[in-house]
Amino acid sequence: MLPLTPFAVDIARHSGGTVVSVAGDLDLETCARLTEAMDALTPDRGETVTLDLMAVTFMGTEALHLLLGLRARARAERWALHLSGVPYLGRRVLELTGMRHLFVFRPGRTPGVPDLRGS
């Protein structure tokens, strides 16, 4: 049996914007927890919020709804949402549903942003 990655959200603000790092499974329960964390953010107009999904081990359909909701919020509040480290299966789901073009993808970790997982 594979060891489970505990779900965690880490938010770091820096001069280039905010990075929200997520670890573990993004499913019905954990998407609600990530939504709460994101709701607590108040990005400035024009700010970039990067959702770092490099340590996500599973993305359920709830994750797709979450991403679409965050995109809508970002557009309404006039801040930018970027995705980083999206797992292959997550990218594939976005491609198959025709929604990949809706998101800005950053390769790997955002340049100039410290590794928030301590690795």
pLDDT, tens digit, for every residue of 55-105?
A: 999 998 899 999 999 999 999 999 999 999 998 888 888 899 899 999 999
Are 8 and 24 spatial neighbours (Cβ–Cβ below 8 Å)? yes
Task: State the CB neighbour count (10 A cutoff) for residue 14.
Answer: 11
Q: What is the DSSP code (8-state) at residue 68?
A: H
Q: Which helix (H) or strand (E) holds 55?
A: strand 48-59
Q: How confident is the model at residue 2 (pLDDT cuts 50, 70, 90)?
A: low
pTM for the model stands at 0.84
CA pair distance 87, 92, nearest whole angstrom: 9
Tokens 């998407």 label which residue?
Answer: 31
At residue 112 the predicted structure's pLDDT band, cuts being 50, 70 and 90, is: very low
